[in-house]
Structure 1
Amino acid sequence: MKKVCVAMSGGVDSSTTALLLKESGYDVFGVFMKLWDSEEKDRGCCSLSDSLDALRVAEKLKIPFYVFNLTDDFKRYVVDYFIDEYKRGRTPNPCINCNLYLKFKILLEKAQTLSADFLATGHYARIVVENNKKYLAKGVDENKDQSYFLFNIPQERLKNILLPLGEFKKEEVRKIAEKAELITAKKRESQEICFIENNYTDFLLKSGIQAKEGDILDINGKKIGRHKGYFYYTIGQRSGLNVSKGYPIYVIKIIPEENVIIADSEEFLYKKELTLSDINLFDDIKDDKVYIVKIRYRHKGDNAIIRKDGNKLHVIFQNPQRAITPGQAGVIYDGDKVVGGGWIDDRQ
């Protein structure tokens, strides 16, 4: 009997994952990752109530349950990265780093020391086999698909990962949990960044970043206002600029080394090209092929051709894209299959 470690967060998705795998005949045990010491004990990630919910589900399923303290790793790979990206004038995606380093590296390795053959999570994505190689693919629930957040998992790790919810829609998962009378069946999903308790700017200020006022320039370099600190802003933002030019003004570019924000009309938000760094590929990029590239989680994706440039990728869209944002991930798809991706650096 194959042994599976299920990463249990205290939510309905990971609870149902454990249930499905147990019903499929696996030898299942659950692990709750303690990642962050929240000042508000009943919100954010790793709250006491979440850990108790995970424990109650494990008890109902009659599976072993462990708590791993990964707070130091979480701070190093997720929180410090989050802070550093804002210092660089970029907009980070901490969930992607958490998946890569915490769940699918550190937790996977710890699970293997407990003789687990697989690590399973409640992500809505699939692992498919094509030409004897394993690939990530979109989940069948298009509205819940989370393959975007998993693009940089090394391909060799996929053989030790199970993603059973990729074959289900969210409403089906809730019904399965309700039928099994799991305590998490009707639990609401968390929408915020798990370690941010109020807003991200308060968190950054508490971390020691100093807000320094600077100039807001238009696209021609003319000073049109002052900003209160560049990390308060992201590409495409309109609110908080307090600039009047007779038409709506948006953040077009952030230049942290000069403490300057470029802001102008919406037309300047549209770009056709971008560069991806720190790339991870599951398949070779073909110069003559048209791919779908997503530039943020809720982006539907658009047609693009891709050129390899050393250890980077140059993406050229068929249509201009609004608010391409450095620090976010660009993820490449061939149909439902994830070809790879990287972090957005430049836009043209």
Structure 2
Amino acid sequence: MSTPRIMVGVSGGVDSSVAAWRLVQQGEPVAGLFMQNWADDGSGDCRAEDDRRDAVAVCGLLDIPFHFRDFSSEYWQGVFEHFLAEYAAGRTPNPDVLCNREVKFKHFLDAARELGAERIATGHYARVAKVGGHWALLRGADRSKDQSYFLHQLGQAQLAATLFPIGDLQKNDLRRIARDARLPTHAKKDSTGICFIGERDFREFLGRYLPARSGQIQDPDGTVIAEHPGVFYFTLGQREGLNIGGVRGRPAAPWYVVGKDVASNVLYVDQDRESPWLQSTRLHSETAHWIAGAPPAREFTCTAQTRYRQPDEPCTVRVRDDGSVDVRFARPQRAVTPGQSLVLYDDEVCLGGAVIAATDAPLEQRLRTAPSPFEVSAA
């Protein structure tokens, strides 16, 4: 068999299966490569072997070569160590963004080229196009499944070597294609959550690596409400898992996380889902990544997402000399979370993004020990 021109990342899921099927139907010389990114930890929750068997079955049906690479060591060093450090600092990281940058579009791309392929393809809901002399990352046609948010750290060299064969499809159409083609993954449930954790208890999993200390849950006025098992288990805006029963003198309404003080081991809560303590209109980021290689201007307007599947939010972006950005939103935003990703868009085009470093939410400002970045004007 001739050397494959395109190496498809086959995950054992329906999306990558249809991606491979479409390329085969187009007559492309294709092979599949399964990436194992997490070593079996003995918990019985790792689905890697089941997924690998499904990937082998798909490649067999399509009559394309199957390859396997173990990237668990690279994942640990490039993604998981950062994940733990961020949680230990009280932030909420997004490992899927790092996984794409460090593993799927770095080590996978290198492995594909070693095997003789010119390009790679994945089952992401996104599109690539040449726009104004640059490669552009576009949203997937199915906005409810669009994954450009998780791909915003890709650059020109990666996009030039990448195909997203299902980016123009709606999920319902993709399922129909998989069923009609009799792909063995056609009815397989979509994977959810963080890839290496799977469907297991997140608190129990994180507790293996970050021994937690119980501490006080307080309202923003400092009144003790209850006790928490560890501040890193919670993120801003979270309602589930607080286990706060009836509190004397307080209404029988849900409680929401509105702040964390890691140094004092205090978790702050409020009973208003739209609590003013959760609202912010400005954020400051770490160094931004621009897909085109540079920002469109030193100051510009666009839309942004500060979490996956969030509606577009109009904003003004100002780029600082150090490469970080200051963002001001047209309206207050709920639970913008340091450690998560800010991703910027010009209509369908993903411009790039950055990790959120700080916001002007009232409680965050009150708890801040370092100088506020909002008091330092951008050069």
Structure 1 residue 233 and structure 2 residue 234: aligned? yes
How far apart in 2 are the matches of 1:117 and 1:222? Answer: 61
Aligned pair partner of 2:38 in 33, 36, 39: 36
> CA deviation digits over 1:96-140, x for unaligned, max 9?
111111100011011111111101000000011111100111011
Cα separation, partners in 2 of 1:180 and 1:225, compared to 1, 3 Å: closer
Contact 1:152 / 1:279 at 8 angstroms: preserved in 2? no
3-state SS of paired residue (2:57): helix
The corresponding residue for 2:372 is: none
Inter-CA distance 288–210: structure 2 relative to 1 (3 Å threshold): closer
Match of residue 266 from structure 2 = 260
> CA separation in 2, counterparts of 1:287 and 1:153?
21
Tell me, in whole angstroms, the C-alpha distance in 2 between the residues paired with 1:45 and 1:153.
27
Amino acid at match of 2:339: G
Q: Which amino acid aligns with 1:302?
A: E
Q: Write the letter of the residue equivalent to 1:329.
A: S
Asked if the contact 2:14–2:175 (Cα under 8 Å) also holds between the matched residues in 1, the reply is yes
* Paired residues of 2:299 and 2:319 also in contact (CA < 8 A): no
C-alpha distance in 2 between matches for 1:221 and 1:306:
35
2:290 aligned to which of 281, 285, 307: 281
User: With structure 2 as the length reference, what TM-score do the two structures score?
Assistant: 0.86
Partners of 1:225 and 1:54 in 2: CA distance: 47
**Which residue is 1:320 aligned to?**
332
Q: Distance in 1 between matches of 2:296 and 2:238?
A: 33
SS of the aligned residue for 1:192 comes to coil
Query: Tell me, what secondary structure is at the counterpart of 2:146?
Result: coil
Distance 1:9 1:193 in 2: 15
Q: Residues 4 and 119 of structure 1 are in contact (CA less than 8 Å); yes or no, is this contact kept in structure 2? A: yes
* Cα offset, 1:236, TM superposition: 0.9
Question: How much does 1:158 deviate?
Answer: 0.8
Q: Stretches of 4+ moved more than 4 A in 1?
A: 220-225
Confirm or deny: 8 A CA contact 1:45 1:195 kept in the other structure: no
Deviation of residue 2 (structure 1)? 7.1
Write out per-residue CA displacement over residues 36-77 of structure 1, whole angstroms, 9 at most, x where no aligned residue.
Answer: 233355x5442x221111111111111110110111112222
For the residues of structure 1 that align with 2:346 and 2:4, how far apart are their CA atoms? 32
| Secondary structure in 2 matching 1:304 | strand
Opposite residue 174 of structure 1, the aligned amino acid is: R
Partner-residue secondary structure (3-state), 1:165: coil
* 1:106 and 2:110 aligned: no
Q: Note if contact 1:291-1:305 (Cα within 8 Å) is conserved in structure 2.
A: yes
Q: For 1:27-176, list aligned pairs within 5 A.
A: 27-38=29-40, 39=42, 43-46=45-48, 48-176=49-177
Cα 1:174–1:225 shift into 2, 3 Å: closer
Report the Cα distance in structure 2 between the residues aligned to 1:34 and 1:78, rounded to whole angstroms: 14
Q: Please list the CA deviations of residues 234-285 of structure 1 after superposition, one character each: whole Å capped at 9, or x if unmatched.
A: 1012341638462554222222233222333422111111112142112424
Match of 1:11 among 7, 10, 13: 13
Residue 301 (structure 1) aligns with: 312
CA separation of 1:40/1:52 partners in 2, compared to 1, >3 Å: closer, same or farther?
Answer: farther
Name the % identity.
35
**Counterpart contact for 2:300–2:318, Cα < 8 Å:** no
> Equivalent residue for 1:344?
356
- Select the residue among 302, 308, 311 that pairs with 2:323: 311
Distance 1:23 1:256 in 2: 54
Q: How far does the alpha carbon of each residue in 1:295-316 deviate from its partner, in whole angstroms, 9 at most, with x for none?
A: 1102112000001122211110
Q: CA deviation at 1:205?
A: 1.3
Partner in structure 1 of residue 364 of structure 2 = none
Alignment correspondent of 2:214: 213
Corresponding position of 1:194: 195
Deviation at 1:224, TM superposition (A): 4.6
Matched, 1:290 2:291: no
Instruction: List runs of 5+ in structure 1 lacking aligned partners.
Output: none
Distance 1:10 1:3 in 2: 21
Q: Does the aligned pair in 1 maintain the 2:80–2:95 contact within 8 Å? A: yes
1:219, distance to aligned residue in structure 2 (A): 2.9
SS state at 1:167 partner: coil
Partner secondary structure for residue 104 of structure 1: helix
Counterpart AA for 1:29: A
Q: Paired residue for 2:370?
A: none
Q: 1:135 to 1:2 in 2, by over 3 A?
A: farther
- What one-letter code is carried by the residue in structure 2 that aligns with 1:4? I
1:233 deviation in Å?
A: 1.3
The 8 Å contact of residues 15 and 123 in structure 2, kept in 1 or not, is answered as: yes
Is 1:246 paired with 2:250? yes
| Structure-2 separation of matches of 1:8 and 1:139 | 19
Aligned length: 345
Please say if residues 138 and 349 of structure 2, whose CA atoms lie closer than 8 Å, have aligned partners that are also in contact: yes
- Give the secondary-structure state (helix, strand or coil) at the position aligned to 1:289: strand
